[in-house]
Amino acid sequence: MSREVLERGVLQETVLRVEDLRVYYNTPAGAVKAVDGITFTLRRGERFGLVGESGSGKSTTALAIMRLIKPPGHIVGGRVQLGNQDLSTLSDDEFRRVRLAEIAMVPQGAMNSLNPVMRIKDQILDGIWAHESTTPRHELNDRLPELLSTVGLQPNVLNLFPHELSGGMKQRVCIAIGISLQPKVIIADEPTSALDVVVQRQIMSTLGAVQERLGASVILVGHDMGLMAQFVDRIGVMYGGRLVEVGPVRDIFKEPLHPYTQSLISSLPTLSSKEVSHGLPGSPPSLLSPPSGCVFHPRCSQVMSNCPLEVPDLREIRPGRWVSCHLY
Amino acid sequence: MSTLIELQNTTKIFGSGPNATVALDNLSLTIDDDTPSFTAVAGESGSGKTTLARILLGFTPPTSGRVIYRGKDLWRISSSERRQFRREVQAIFQDPFEVFNPFYRVDHLLNVPIEKFHLAKSKQHAHQLIEEALAAVGLRPEDTLGRFPHQLSGGQRQRLTIARALLLRPRLIVADEPVSMVDASLRATILESLRTLNQDFGISFLYITHDLTTAYQISENIIVLYRGGVAEVGDVDLVIKQPQHPYSQLLVSSIPQPDVDRRWGGDQELPSESGRGSKSGCRFADRCPRAMPECLQSIPPLYRTDPRRAAACFLYRDAPSITSEQMDEVMAPGSSIRRPVQDPR
Amino acid sequence: MATGSAVIPQVKPAVPQGRTRLGAFLAYCRRNPNLIIGLVMVLFLILIGLIGPLFVNVAQAQPTSVIPDQPPSPDLLLGSDDQGRDLLAVLVAGLPLTMRVGFIAGAVGLTIGVILAFIAGYQGGTVDTVIRLVVDTLLTVPGLLVLIIIADSIKGVISINLMALVVASLAWMHPARTIRSQVLTLRERAYVQMAKLSGMNGFEIIVRELVPNLLPYLAASFVGAVSAAVLASIGLEALGLGPQNEPTVGMTIYWAISFDALLRGLWWWWIVPIVVIVVLFMGLFLISAGLDEVANPRLRRSA
């Protein structure tokens, strides 16, 4: 682990383990394999970035961990382990207790999903009260001002309605809801996609501060590699429903191993040169009938003869560096 | 030197009374007709960039000030002159899906302008024009025509809107966030198409965005808007690499660069999220880390700190000040842009 | 906070390229039983009126055609009423009349309503405010009361078509309102702005860009207007304000009430109109529910 990471108190202890997760959607045309065998671990205090383009399966993975997949989607395989507990064996009721209290999510577009006719304090209370229904509501009320201050909001926000808040403030409210029960894992799915660049920086810094205070781990789901570079410790790159590479953020940027990651990194627009970066030829794979063998082989510049035949495993070729590619 | 379209001291206010929002504040801008330019207008939400687009496109009249099209007030010209305006000033919008009427196949988007502007003499001619336009943006007719919008990718749809704009051979295209809703891997292709239209077809662009990185890559000039006014303007290399206005500096430093060694700086400098803003004086004064007493009293004019750059900030009061009408001198288009052969149509 | 439905990855539809709109429509109907069942029910009733006369002598729908007060028998399948009308002939002759009132009133009402809705919704400004005020005020007027007053004053000369117009006079407000809100939503769509940029004027935009996207709403409004019109006309007729000599469903009820069919145990007289009304309204309702699914894709059943 890098010095930076150690300084932040990231421990070796694994707090979340996802093993061979599969989520398929049943459509009239067949099964769409949105997530097809994802495996990764999350350490305590770590910031893990799950990055991929639209259709890569990253949001679906987040929802699957939270067991929020609705028909026609189903979790058809794999395990999610929180600490020592296998979440897949829990009943729906038992899992509901885990949701928000142990693993919380700030979903995509969360700030637009705030109830427009409820005051902020009621919306936060709703979540808490669902878990602590034995505690009287007014006692729960007392916790709110401090909760808001951890996300940088004044207590007066509690009595406001969502439309009276700016985009950044609404997103902070959503983060507040997410951390209201001090979960061990916070999953943030594109938390800043609708926000301006300056506000985005403020929100990410708030999220980071909140995380450190709680000693929680964060999974940041998104497609903005720049944002990942600024925030996360480790990155998992997704393509076509599979994880193609996992590693520390610095290594991924300086020395990407998987051909997809390589083209992703090289096509990133930067302020250092005026050259318009070039994209990847071809188009994202059909998840209904994905390419045989390695899901990336049709677009791969380094494709070999066995790539269409065998699905490469995600293997740890160096300590901390996992790649799913026949080149290694 | 002839001017295509010009905004003279235009102000746009929404609402009235104490809740009125000033979307654009006394903004002046000139788009030249002789040499095709590529200007970015950068700003966050609330900066007025969308309002600017709508006013330039004639969708909404300014509250005060004038919009001059080829020497005449846009809102007082005859309908045939308006038609001419429509032909010369076109747009590309942000959402590549919403611009298509879901009831029709994508061909509808291309056929309507041909029909309404009588661009073709016959059906074959129309088809030929469409094929040429598609080729210019890198699309093949057999892959795109005859399909419904949901059957194409976001990148293909956006390129179709660019092809549509090209059909009309306009003088100016207002592109409002053309790549923000397109996948990162397809952005390069779209930007490339815009560059083709600018360099090979001599079309000027006003590229509106909040993404400074793409603005840097594709434009020659940039106008940074803050709360309806110009914060900084000039050559894109100067403004983005060496920003002078405190707001431009904040904006540039907040870009999430994909470089692990260039992480966002300490958070002490971050100003609080904007409230209503100051009532008088510089619009950025309430969030500015370098604010001085005079900043609260009067609005700073544009100070020309370089031949190719001006910043509206009292920090640079030693430099000569220019009026907003003179802004285009700062943005003189580069001589490297070739002027294409006159189109015989 | 939002939960649930992740974006389903875009799947290229498994339809052959260039599949016609009709083919897609038929396949869709299979997935929308409400619409189909409703259409079948209403069509069945229409057919009774169309094909019935081939089998039944409609002249016998007039009084003193057959022996009165006969219960259903092999000769008189639905029996006869107190004035000697063959009730089967009455059904065959009268049902299309009732439906005609409904459809004419619905169509006229909808047309007026839609035209006003488009003008108000698209133009906005003062025009919109004026139209909206008129519509909202008239909506508060108790419709049936007004209809009764109008119908009563033209009692002598009322005919089927006149009744349709009377009913239509109050049927246009509701469509005007609902379609107007839809127009307001669509007016700001990017494809409308594109149409403006492509040189279309307001009228063209309404007809070519907006109307096609409003077809489900227009159809649903039409069904709603027809239902309301049929109900209003039956109501007026049952009160005796309809065309006295026509064997419509409502008039049949009126005669049945006037001659105390219930008390006298002439059950076959009043049961037929009631069954017809139930079938008609259920059919119209199911069509409207089916159209609701078309207009609101989220209601569509998932696979």
The CATH number covering residue C221 comes to 1.10.3720.10
Chain A hits for C3, CB-CB cut-off 8 Å, are: 68, 107
Confidence band of B342 (pLDDT split at 50, 70, 90):
very low
Q: Of B153, B189, B267, which is closest to A279 when you measure between CB atoms?
A: B189
A239 and A118 fall within a common domain:
no
pLDDT per residue as tens digits for the range C195-210: 999 989 889 999 999 9
* Min Cα–Cα distance to chain C from A9, Å: 31
Structure ipTM: 0.82
Predicted pLDDT at C14 = 40
Binary contact (C9, A28; C-beta < 8 A): no
CA distance B180 to chain C (A): 16
Query: Which among A55, A70, A110 is the nearest to C10, CB-wise?
Result: A55
pLDDT score, position C299 = 52
Does residue B97 have a pLDDT over 80? Answer: yes
**Nearest chain A residue (CA) to C6:** A60
Pick the residue of A68, A114, A122 with the most C CBs within 10 A to test the interface with C by mutation.
A68
Record: contact A270-B213, CB cut-off 8 A: yes
Measure in Å the smallest separation between the Cα of A243 and chain B Cα atoms. Answer: 18
Q: Three-state SS across chain B? A: CCEEEEEEEEEEEECCHHHCEEEEEEEEEEEECCCCCEEEEECCCCCCHHHHHHHHCCCCCCCEEEEEECCEEHHHCCHHHHHHHHHHEEEECCCCCCCCCCCCCCHHHHHHHHHHCCCCCCHHHHHHHHHHHHHHCCCCHHHHCCCCHHHCCHHHHHHHHHHHHHHCCCCEEEEECCCCCCCHHHHHHHHHHHHHHHHCCCCEEEEEECCHHHHHHHCCEEEEEECCEEEEEEEHHHHHHCCCCHHHHHHHHCCCCCCCCCCCCCHHHCCCCCCCCCCCCCCCHHHCCCCCHHHHCCCCCEEEEECCEEECCHHHCCCCEECHHHHHHHCCCCCCCCCCCCCCC
Instruction: Determine whether the interchain pair A72/C12 forms a contact, defined as Cβ–Cβ distance below 8 Å.
Output: no
Average pLDDT over residues C59-70: 84
Q: What percent of chain A has pLDDT over 90?
A: 39
Inter-chain CB proximity C13 and A288 less than 8 Å: no
Domain count, chain C: 1
Contacting residues of B for A196, CB less than 8 Å apart: 44-45, 210
What range does the domain containing A209 cover?
A: 3-102+184-268+279-323
My answer on whether A158 and A219 are in the same domain is: no
Is A48 part of a structural domain of the chain?
yes
Q: Which pLDDT band holds residue B340 (cuts at 50, 70, 90)? A: very low
Minimum CA–CA partner of C15 in chain A = A29
Q: Which of A182, A199, A231 is the last residue of a domain?
A: A182
Q: Which residues on chain B are in Cβ contact (under 8 Å) with C189? A: 98
pLDDT score of B279: 66
Q: Is the residue at C51 inside a domain?
A: no
Find chain C residues with C-beta within 8 A of A54's C-beta: 7
Task: Judge whether C28 lies within some domain.
Answer: no
Contact B117 C12 (CB under 8 A): no
C-facing residues of A in 102-121 (CB < 8 A) are 107-110, 112-114
Beta carbons of A286 and C11 less than 8 Å apart: yes
pLDDT for residue C29 is more than 80: no
CB contact under 8 A, B254 and A198: yes
Q: What is the pLDDT of residues B276-286, one digit of tens each?
A: 555 678 888 88
Look at residue B267 and tell me whether its pLDDT is greater than 60: no
Residue B143 banded pLDDT, cuts 50, 70, 90 = confident
Token pair 């994909």: residue: B258
Chain C nearest C-alpha distance from B235 (Å): 30
User: Which residue from A28, A60, A177 is facing C303, i.e. has the nearest CB?
Assistant: A28
Distances (CA, A) of B249 to A198, B311, B319: 11, 11, 19
Contact B258 A270 (CB under 8 A): yes
Domain-terminating residue out of A143, A166, A182: A182
Chain B CB within 8 Å of residue A232 CB = no
Say whether residue A251 is in contact with chain B using an 8 A CB cutoff. Answer: no
Cβ separation B256–A200 shorter than 8 A: yes
Q: Which residues of C touch A55 (CB under 8 A)?
A: 9-10
Q: Which residues of chain C make contact with B116, given a CB cutoff of 8 A? A: 198-200
End-of-domain residue from the set A152, A182, A212: A182
Q: Which chains contact B through at least 3 pairs of Cβ atoms less than 8 Å apart? A: A, C
CB contact under 8 A, C198 and B113: yes
What's the mean pLDDT in C165-189? Answer: 88
| Structure confidence at residue C1 (pLDDT) | 37
Domain count, chain A: 2
Of C18, C199, C209, the CB nearest to B116: C199
pLDDT tens for B214-229 read 899 899 999 999 988 9
Residues A72, A139, single domain; the answer is no
Q: Which residue in this structure is represented by tokens 């983005």? A: B240
Cβ <8 Å between B59 and C191:
no
Mean pLDDT of the region C114-122: 92
Out of A25-34, B75-84, B93-102, C156-165, least confident range? C156-165
- Would you say residue A309 lies in a domain? yes
Any chains having at least 3 CB pairs less than 8 A from chain A are B, C
Chain C: give the shortest CA distance to residue A58, in Å. Answer: 10
Q: How far is A127 from chain C (nearest CA, A)?
A: 9
Model confidence band, residue C102 (pLDDT cutoffs 50, 70, 90): confident
A–C: how many Cβ contacts below 8 A? 61
Q: Which of A188-202, B91-105, C165-179 has the highest mean pLDDT?
A: B91-105
pLDDT at A277: 66
* Residue-level pLDDT at C55: 84
Find the CB nearest B117 among C17, C18, C199: C199
Identify the pLDDT of residue A276: 65
Contact residues, chain B, for A254 at CB < 8 Å: 260
Domain extent, residue C102, equals 94-299
Choose from A25, A99, A223, A242 for mutation: most chain C CBs within 10 A. A25
Residues of B with CB under 8 A from a CB of A: 44-45, 153, 183-189, 191-192, 195, 210-214, 216-218, 240-241, 250-251, 254-260, 263-264, 267, 270, 273-274
* Whether pLDDT at C8 is above 70: no
CATH topology of domain B3-96+171-180+189-257+276-330: Rossmann fold (3.40.50)
Do A305 and A208 sit in the same domain of this protein?
Answer: yes
Which residues in chain A touch residue C7, judged by CB atoms under 8 angstroms apart?
A: 54, 59
Enumerate neighbours of C (3 or more CB pairs within 8 A). A, B
The pLDDT, as a whole number, for residue A236 is 95
Taking an 8 Å cut-off on Cβ atoms, the answer to whether C303 and A32 are in contact is: no
Question: Does B101 contact C212 at a Cβ distance shorter than 8 Å?
Answer: yes
Does A87 share its domain with A147? no
Whether B263 and A229 lie within 8 Å, measured CB to CB? yes
Q: Give pLDDT tens digits for C233-287.
A: 888 888 888 888 888 888 889 988 988 888 888 888 888 889 999 999 999 999 9
Q: Which residues of chain B have a CB within 8 Å of the CB of A264?
A: 185
Per-residue model confidence as pLDDT tens for chain A (328 residues): 566 666 666 777 889 999 999 999 988 888 899 999 999 999 999 999 999 988 888 999 999 999 999 888 899 999 999 988 888 888 888 888 888 889 999 988 787 889 999 999 999 988 888 888 788 878 888 889 989 988 888 888 999 999 888 888 899 999 999 898 899 999 999 988 878 888 888 889 989 999 998 999 999 999 889 999 999 999 999 999 999 999 999 999 999 999 999 988 888 888 877 766 677 777 788 888 888 889 998 888 888 888 999 889 899 999 989 999 998 8
The reply to whether A171 touches chain C by the CB within 8 Å rule is no
pTM here is 0.81
Look at residue A198 and tell me if it is in a domain: yes
Instruction: Evaluate whether residue A274 is within a structural domain.
Output: no
User: A57 to chain C: which residues are within 8 Å by CB?
Assistant: 9
- CB contacts, 8 Å: B150 with chain C: 10
Q: Which of C7, C8, C187, C194 to mutate to test the interface with B (most CBs of B within 10 A)?
A: C194
Q: Is A194 on the interface with B (CB under 8 A)?
A: no
In chain B, where the domains are located:
3-96+171-180+189-257+276-330
Contact criterion met (CB below 8 Å) for C85 and C62: yes
